[in-house]
């Protein structure tokens, strides 16, 4: 396969396109390193992340703002996990989901209903037994939402998902067994490391004995889960499913003509993204040990979406960076905390003007997506490109 351009001159770039890119020099530097160096840097960075709450570095720590640093990092990590799930739907498959907080709520309520003594089910299951059920239930809720709605596109799909998030919140308000604002107390959590000084273990929110506080335990647990999700999503991204998602994101009509079952892969994205959202909700329920209807509003959903857009849709590390910024900045600088929605809104507008692809753009693009419009692509007659056989390509 060869790529040629009929026009030798590149189109003139505007002022905004000439602005320096933040992610590309770092990426070029990273790609120029050898594998042993990359592995060494990655391990060193992971060790730094693990011990960061123990280091509690002055100037970075939020202790001076009255917030325990390990708790803030645990919230950053949990929001990063949410952003990873939303990135599957928005960043990889290109489906605008404004009601992702609904899946987060379903996961939290499943754990609360199954484990809290306030629940009318009176099951009192352990937190660990509730987590896989929460993920399955949220994945099924993603399928139920997607089956009648995923034939919609763009703004219409965004409105439907926004409605889903509001429906979940209103159900929590108005259905008696879900207890509205009263909520569920004493939600189960992992009981590990009980002792005289820690009678309920490391994960109990009553454990404030430094340095191994409950915030530190949850932070380490969520870091492990993020690594597992990064591995799983990376494998999906490089599989046939991931290539189909990228084709959907770039041009759904073209993907369908090329033989991609767009509806099936949209359902995959919704179900997988919902399951990760449910896992995040289960983590929140276990860490806070209390669930009510106050954390699942539209504004929270917009904040999750802001993390994905700010970091870079389709880039896993980018969305993690976006989630960290969304949580850490208002926690570190509490003076501006009440203005965070205005500040992040303005930041998103500026980003859309100067760098719409986000701080760290997605790496995987469709073949020829970055070429000028007058470029032509020549294929060998029997060559398979991105998993698309020549017979389907001829349909174009």
Could you tell me if residue 385 is inside a domain? no
253 with 94: CB under 8 angstroms? no
The answer to whether the bond into 58 is cis (omega within 30° of 0) is no
Q: How far is CA 29 from the centre of its chain?
A: 26
In a domain, 125, yes or no: yes
Query: Residue 183: which residues within 8 A CB-CB, separation 6 or more?
Result: 112, 118, 290, 291, 292, 293, 294
Is 175 within a domain?
yes
Domain that holds residue 126: 69-189+212-296
Query: How far is residue 235's CA from residue 229's CA, in Å, rounded to a whole number?
Result: 10
- Assigned token pair, 142: 């993603």
Q: Please, what is the Cα angle at 158 between 365 and 232, to 5 degrees?
A: 45
Q: Name the β-bridge partners of 185.
A: 290
Q: What is the pTM of this model?
A: 0.84
* pLDDT of the residue at 6: 45
Give the model's pLDDT for residue 9.
46
CA–CA distance, 244 with 242 (Å, rounded to integer)? 5
Q: Decide if 326 is inside a domain.
A: no
User: Going residue by residue through the chain (396 aa), what tens digit of pLDDT does each one get?
Assistant: 444 444 444 444 444 445 555 556 777 787 788 888 888 999 999 999 999 999 989 888 888 888 899 999 999 999 999 999 999 999 899 888 889 999 999 999 999 999 999 999 888 999 999 999 999 999 999 999 889 888 888 788 889 898 999 999 999 989 989 988 899 999 999 998 888 888 888 999 888 888 889 999 999 999 999 999 999 999 998 899 999 998 988 888 898 888 889 899 999 999 999 999 999 999 999 999 999 988 898 889 988 999 999 888 888 889 999 999 999 999 988 888 888 888 888 888 888 888 788 888 776 554 444 445 455 544 454 544 444 444 444 443
Q: What is the pLDDT of residue 363?
A: 66
394 in a structural domain: no
pLDDT for the residue 343 = 85
Q: And the tokens for 53?
A: 């709450």
Domain count, the chain: 1
The tokens for 391 are 């017979």
Note whether residue 99 is domain-resident: yes
According to the model, what pLDDT value does residue 23 have? Answer: 58
Q: What's the pLDDT score for residue 7?
A: 45
**Phi, psi of 388, deg, nearest 5:** -100, 120
Geometric angle at alpha carbon 43, from 37 and 317, rounded to 5°: 95
Tell me 178's DSSP state: G
Residue-level pLDDT at 328: 93
Residue 358 structure tokens = 């986000």
Output the pLDDT for position 24.
67
Task: Answer whether residue 198 is part of any domain.
Answer: no
How far is the C-alpha of 370 from the C-alpha of 357, rounded, in Å? 13
pLDDT at residue number 35: 84
pLDDT for 72: 94
User: Is the residue at 270 inside a domain?
Assistant: yes
């Amino acid at each position: 396969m060869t790529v040629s351009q009929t026009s030798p001159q590149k189109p003139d770039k505007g002022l905004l396109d000439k602005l320096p890119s933040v992610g590309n020099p770092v990426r070029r530097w990273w790609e120029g390193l050898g594998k042993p160096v990359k592995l060494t840097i990655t391990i060193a960075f992971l060790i730094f992340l693990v011990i960061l709450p123990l280091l509690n570095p002055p100037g970075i720590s939020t202790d001076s703002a009255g917030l325990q640093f390990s708790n803030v990092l645990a919230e950053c990590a949990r929001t990063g996990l949410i952003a990873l799930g939303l990135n599957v739907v928005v960043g990889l498959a290109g489906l605008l989901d404004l009601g992702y907080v609904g899946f987060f709520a379903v996961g939290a309520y499943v754990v609360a209903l199954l484990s809290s003594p306030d629940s009318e089910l009176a099951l009192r299951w352990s937190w660990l037994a509730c987590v896989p059920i929460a993920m399955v239930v949220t994945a099924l809720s993603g399928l139920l939402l997607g089956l009648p709605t995923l034939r919609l596109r763009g703004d219409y799909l965004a409105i439907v998902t926004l409605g889903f998030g509001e429906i979940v919140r209103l159900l929590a308000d108005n259905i008696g067994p879900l207890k509205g604002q009263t909520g569920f107390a004493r939600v189960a959590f992992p009981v590990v490391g009980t002792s005289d000084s820690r009678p309920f273990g490391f994960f109990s929110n009553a454990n404030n004995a430094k340095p191994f506080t409950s915030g530190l335990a949850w932070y380490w647990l969520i870091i492990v889960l993020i690594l597992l999700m990064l591995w799983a999503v990376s494998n999906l991204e490089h599989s046939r499913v991931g290539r189909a998602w990228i084709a959907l994101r770039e041009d759904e009509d073209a993907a369908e003509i090329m033989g991609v079952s767009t509806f099936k892969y949209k359902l995959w994205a919704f179900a997988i993204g919902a399951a990760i959202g449910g896992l995040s909700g289960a983590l929140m329920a276990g860490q806070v040990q209390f669930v009510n209807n106050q954390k699942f509003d539209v504004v929270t959903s917009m904040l999750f979406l802001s993390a994905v857009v700010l970091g870079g849709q389709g880039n896993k590390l980018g969305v993690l960076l976006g989630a960290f910024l969304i949580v850490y900045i208002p926690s570190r600088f509490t003076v501006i905390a009440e203005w965070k929605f205005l500040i992040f809104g303005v930041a998103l507008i500026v980003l859309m003007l100067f760098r719409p692809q986000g701080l760290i753009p997605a790496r995987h693009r469709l073949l020829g997506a970055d070429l000028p419009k007058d470029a032509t692509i020549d294929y060998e007659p029997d060559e398979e490109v991105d998993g698309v056989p020549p017979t389907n390509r001829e349909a174009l």
